[in-house]
């Protein structure tokens, strides 16, 4: 049974795999020329080199391109979902700012703002499960949002 890393290494490292195959082909051709008759060595090399390039390298590089394409598609989907999270954040934060302008009291204080609970504010600041991932892609936005979150609960 082949270990997983050995089976996926050529696909994950196509450049190194190509260099390795070319180096192996050079060694094979040199060994063939030293051990076999010149004409047999040339024939064997003429078969081995195209086979290695057309069958082995072409297939590995095609699988690598397909894997890269899937990764790219997944990244684009992730960015699209994050864009929706940012849109929701913008809407929610605009509403928080509007409510803060209307009242001089902190929004998290039940005494000063009836109907506004800590859970409601948490829902406004974390509207989507991907909200936590925004800091990995937009650290400045996440830092400003965290600062606003602290300011919202602070008395004026």
Q: Let me know: does 48 contact 91? Beta carbons within 8 Å.
A: no
Q: Which of 154, 153, 145 is nearest to 94 (CA)?
A: 145
pTM above 0.85, yes or no: no
Q: What is the pLDDT of residue 125?
A: 66
Q: Are 66 and 85 contained in the same domain?
A: no
Q: Of 35, 51, 71, which one is at a domain's C-terminal end? A: 71
Q: Are 90 and 42 contained in the same domain?
A: no
Q: What is the pLDDT of residue 92?
A: 79
Q: Are 34 and 88 contained in the same domain?
A: no
Work out the angle at residue 46's Cα, subtended by the Cα atoms of residues 41 and 51, and round it to the nearest 5 degrees. 125
Would you state the structure tokens that stand for residue 138, as one six-digit string? Answer: 């937009």
pLDDT per position as a tens digit, 113-146:
444 555 666 666 666 667 777 778 788 888 887 7
On whether residue 2 sits in a domain, the answer given is no
On whether residue 85 sits in a domain, the answer given is yes
Q: What is the pLDDT of residue 32?
A: 83
Length of the chain in residues, anyone?
156
The more confident residue out of 99 and 48 is: 48
pLDDT per position as a tens digit, 76-97:
988 888 888 888 887 877 777 7
Would you state the structure tokens that stand for residue 146, as one six-digit string? Answer: 């965290």
On whether residue 24 sits in a domain, the answer given is yes
How many structural domains comprise the chain? 2
Q: Are 53 and 99 contained in the same domain?
A: no
Domain that holds residue 111: 81-153
Q: Are 90 and 43 contained in the same domain?
A: no
On whether residue 34 sits in a domain, the answer given is yes
């Amino acid at each position: 049974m082949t270990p997983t890393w050995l089976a996926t290494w050529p696909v994950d490292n196509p450049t190194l795999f190509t260099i390795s195959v070319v180096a192996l082909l050079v060694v094979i051709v040199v060994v063939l020329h030293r051990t076999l008759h010149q004409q047999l060595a040339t024939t064997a090399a003429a078969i081995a080199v195209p086979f290695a390039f057309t069958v082995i390298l072409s297939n590995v590089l095609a699988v690598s391109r397909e894997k890269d394409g899937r990764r790219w598609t997944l990244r684009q989907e992730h960015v699209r979902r994050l864009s929706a999270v940012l849109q929701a954040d913008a809407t929610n934060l605009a509403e928080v700012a509007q409510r803060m302008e209307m009242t001089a009291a902190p929004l998290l204080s039940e005494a000063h703002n009836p109907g506004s609970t800590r859970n409601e504010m948490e829902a406004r600041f974390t509207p989507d499960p991907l909200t936590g991932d925004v800091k990995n892609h937009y650290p400045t936005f996440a830092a400003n949002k965290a600062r606003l979150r602290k300011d919202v609960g602070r008395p004026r």
